[in-house]
Amino acid sequence: MEELYRKIPCRESQLNDLFNLFGDYDEPLPCSLFLSGNMGTGKTLCLTSVLRYLGYKHVIIDCIECYTIKIICETILCGLNTTEIDIKCESILDFTNAINRINLNITQYQPVVLIFDRAERLRSMDQSIISAFLRLRELCNLNICTVFVTHLVYDSFYFKMGVREPIKIYFSNYNKEELFKIIFLNKESFTHHILKSHDVDYDVKIELEKPELFANFLNAFLSVFYRPCRDLIELQYMARVNFVKYCEPIIKNEIQSQDLSKLWRHISPILKTSLELLYLRLSSTQLSNPSPGKENSDNIESYNFESTLKEELTCTKTFAQSFELPYYAKFLLIAAYLASYNPPKEDKRLFMKNHGKQRKRLQQVKAKAKINEKLNTQLGPKVFTLDRLLAIFYAILEEKIGLTSNLLAQIATLVELKLIAGSKEIDLDTAKYKCIVGYDFISAVAQTVSFNVRKYLYDFM
Amino acid sequence: MVVSGENTVSVQIKLIRKYLKLKIMEDNVTFRSNSSHHQERAHVYDLIKRSIANGESHSALMIGPRGCGKTTLVNSVLSQISKEVDVENDAIIVKLNGLIHHDDKVALKSITAQMKLENVVGDRVFGTFAENLSFLLSCLQSGADRQCRSMVFILEEFDMFCHSGRTQTLLYNLFDITHSKQAPMCVLGITNRIDVMELLEKRVKSRFSHRHIYLFPYEDLEAEARGNKPKSPLECCKQILVFLLSVPISLAGDKVDVVKKKTGRSKKKSISNEQPSELEEDLLPDEVVKRCNINMEQFKALDSDFLNDWNSHVQSLLDDERVVDSLEKMCYYTVNEQIFRNILFQIVSKLGTNKPYIDATDLVSIIDKTVTPEHRVMLLQSLSILELSLVIAMKHGMEIFDGQPMNFEMILHRYTKFANANSSTQTVPRPVILKAFEHLQALEIVLPVKSTDSIYNAADTTASRVQKEYKLYTLAVPIEDINEAVKNFKALPTEISHWYNNSVD
């Protein structure tokens, strides 16, 4: 018991609740429990370790895997008795019958717990299923308890007719100190991770294994990361990545491990940059293969990686360049973007040389300022016809080229690359298109052909 | 017998805990003598008794909100009848639950099984539902040694049998038989929908006897008829509390010490004068004991003195002002007895060697947690600062545009406006913000428009052609909850709370 509490820190009250509710082996279980709380707050961990400690018979049903009632029932029955191999179960009725048959084999009042993990998925099935599982205890003669584990609050389960209310337990988020405590528990694995990838001298190894070093790192780390991210899993992952960086100068004997301020100066820019990679999970294999032509220097410094990586992400520039589109295709794409985000009636003003002067009336200016929120770039792309696309294309292209089949094939290529969404229409007159790339992408493309997109966007006029 | 030593106390408390848990969770048979539904119970009893003993046919509907004791009432009637007449040979009781048997085919299969006619039916193929059912009934008439056995159908969640769209074949046939002389049959529907009659087909409705039995919690027809004022919900709650938490003295096995036991009883009487019915405590009904496979012998180890202490302790709980206050609070929120039982179960499960008595503060906190769970506020508070900022940005945007739905770009626009104005906020790139927004989506704090269901079963038929940045969302949490969450957010940066309060610009 002590061990369990030590292994799962900061969840004492929830563990106590669970232990109390499950009680002793020969006592009746509650009808149903409902565990909710944000992702990564230890709901499933607490539940399964309590049940394993108590030694109760339990079956865990992941509602993503078990997406129909048939699979759910068969999984439960398989989990409950290993002797019967051929289990067929089509509906809840078969299930209750089968479970009552199990009851005949069980002589005493044995507790059985069914755990529905990610129970929010149950809502997509028939309503009667979750209601039936909520009162499963009444429907069969077993000492059975159903536990629903989900990240949603109970109110998000809209029951039309009301159900038998479960007992609800809430798992609150860990705060900063608790996160520190939990990540600190795994410090061995962190240092082990470093020692595996680097071969270090003995005395450096001693230094690295000091808990103070890791504690210092963790403090610095959490001070940066706690604000945008509270997800334990993500934080643990980011800490692992960054701890390697933190220790690098120590391994290279550039900074003494006691020199905290120097280490902080070393790590803070790294943390800042890796903050921008939060949740994105760029694996290290991707790191070692930067796009060709980008890596010109031989020395692979961590700084360099960070900066290139940052570039790769923040402006989607390399992503845009990685397509290596032909010259005209780039213009076609830009034209498509402009067609999607400009109102058609403004085309004349935007793209014609002699469009006449438009008087800006005060009222108009005001109206425009007011609907700042409803900019075209914010409302999403509109559809356009092929005619309009080609008209804009010729307007923004300075040289004169003929309309060849090659050019039209380029449009098909853009659709194929999912840069433009197009209907499968063969008739070119009725085909409607839509540009589905963002502004960042387009401006990166436009830069390569030295074209100013902003100049032609109605929103920015 | 004197309770001595830690060990004995722990044994005693464990037995009490087990007994109370059994009583709270498993006992759905005992009809409380102080309950207010005596008239209704007599009615149901009369119906079932008549159809079993006299071979009459009846149909009735029991209507009442959840957790007001409909099933318990029926169970207690059945158990009483089973003691009085030979149910085994005279009647067949078929229980169907709308949650399981809402499909007619499934229901019929279950009826066959409950009538123990699987062998007779065998591989026979029937043309219609009615044919099948009448075959089953004819089996009863000819096959059994008696002339005819009565049937009692108990349909729980009756509204689930009235499926709209499909025909109500099962109900039609059941009600039809109550009018024919084929077999004596009693059909009793239990539901919590007051509009259940509107769900019935015309042909079903015309065959139903229109006998409604309404059950409302804490409503006492008898008392009203006598001109008395009905008991307040609080009084009922107190009675339930005492009833469910007290342990019958007769459970204790130490009959040797009769004198002592008697004094114990009298002592108790002095305490609980105003509840005389409470003394005739009944043990767990036999059905429950049998179903749970428990050995009642083990409770013989209980000490009567200890039980007396315990019962007076339960009584004394009601004198505690905090307990009474929170019970009253609970009565304002819910009258569902199942919820109350859940609360009591949680309290009982907290008992242990180092906590041999019920703590009033525990009771208060559990009631608070159950009736006013602030889970949504807590969920909002568990968000990271970035996610909360997005929620605030969305709230502001919806205030400006009169609750029109927003897409990610609009929210991002508002957020960046705020972030640029405050240099102290750490800026994060767009993909990270998008991820945070998707997290909000997964938690269903924001919901996509047009599909009120969750993101998982939204088949995306309407919005499939829109990129995710431009999909429209609405805020799915009430403004009050956000207010509450922001007010009590731990370590919230001041500029955010300032931004929240000085909203619209």
Structural domain tally of chain A?
3
Residues A232 and A257 in one domain: yes
**Gap between the Cα atoms of A250 and A246, Å rounded:** 8
> Tokens in use for B317?
């709980």
Average confidence (pLDDT) over B188-207: 88
Distance (Å, whole) CA B344 – CA A170: 18
Q: Cα separations (Å) of B172 from A237, A423, B72?
A: 62, 52, 27
Which has the minimum average pLDDT: A372-376, B65-69, B300-304, B480-484? A372-376
Per-residue pLDDT tens over the stretch B78-91: 888 888 877 777 78
Whether chain B has a CB inside 8 Å of the CB on A273: the answer is no
Residues A263 and A187 in one domain: yes
Do A183 and A43 belong together in one domain? no
Do A286 and A199 lie in one domain? The reply is: yes
Question: Which residues on chain A are in Cβ contact (under 8 Å) with B376?
Answer: 153, 155
CB of A181 within 8 Å of a chain B CB? The answer is no
- A78: confidence class by pLDDT, cuts 50, 70, 90: confident
Alpha helices in B27-165 (DSSP H): 38-53, 70-84, 87-90, 104-114, 118-121, 129-143
- For residues B404 and A362, which has the higher predicted lDDT (pLDDT)? B404
Interface probe with A: pick from B22, B99, B199, most Cβ of A within 10 Å:
B99
Residue that terminates a domain, selected from A290, A320, A350: A320
CATH number at residue A77: 3.40.50.300
Domain boundary among A171, A186, A209: A171
Task: Mark whether A285 and A390 lie in a shared domain.
Answer: no
Domains and CATH numbers, chain B: 38-217 (3.40.50.300), 228-371 (no CATH), 378-501 (1.10.10.10)
Q: Is the pLDDT of residue A102 over 70?
A: yes
Is A279 in the B-facing interface, judged by CB distances under 8 Å? yes
> A21 and B349 in contact by Cβ < 8 A?
yes
ipTM attached to this prediction: 0.84
Residues 230-249 of A with CB under 8 A from B: 230-231
Q: What is the pLDDT of residues A283-339, one digit of tens each?
A: 443 443 333 333 333 333 444 445 555 555 555 566 666 677 888 888 889 999 988
Choose among A181, A39, A357, A20: nearest CA to B387.
A39
Q: How far is A147 from chain B (nearest CA, A)?
A: 14
CB A162 within 8 A of CB B66: yes
Residues A275 and A415 occupy one common structural domain: no
Question: What's the rounded Cα separation, in Å, for the pair A351 and B457?
Answer: 45
Q: Which of B22, B192, B457 sits opposite A28 (nearest CB)?
A: B22
A123 and B457 within 8 Å at the Cβ level: the answer is yes
Question: Do A304 and A182 share a domain, yes or no?
Answer: yes
**pLDDT at site B148:** 66
A42 within 8 A of A169, measured Cβ to Cβ? no
Give B 183-242 residues with CB within 8 A of chain A.
192-193
The pLDDT value given to residue A23: 86
What residues make up the domain containing A261?
A: 176-320
How many residues appear in chain A?
A: 461
The answer to whether residue A380 neighbours chain B at the CB level (below 8 Å) is yes
Cβ-Cβ contacts under 8 Å, B98 against chain A? 128
Quick one: pLDDT at residue B190? 92
Q: Are residues A17 and A125 in the same domain?
A: yes
Nearest Cβ partner for B378 among A172, A421, A438: A172
| Residue whose pair of structure tokens reads 């990129």 in the numeric block | B467
- Both A154 and A190 in a single domain? no
Contacts of B430 in chain A (CB under 8 A): 440
Share of chain A above pLDDT 90, in %: 7
Q: Are residue A181 and residue A260 in the same domain, yes or no?
A: yes
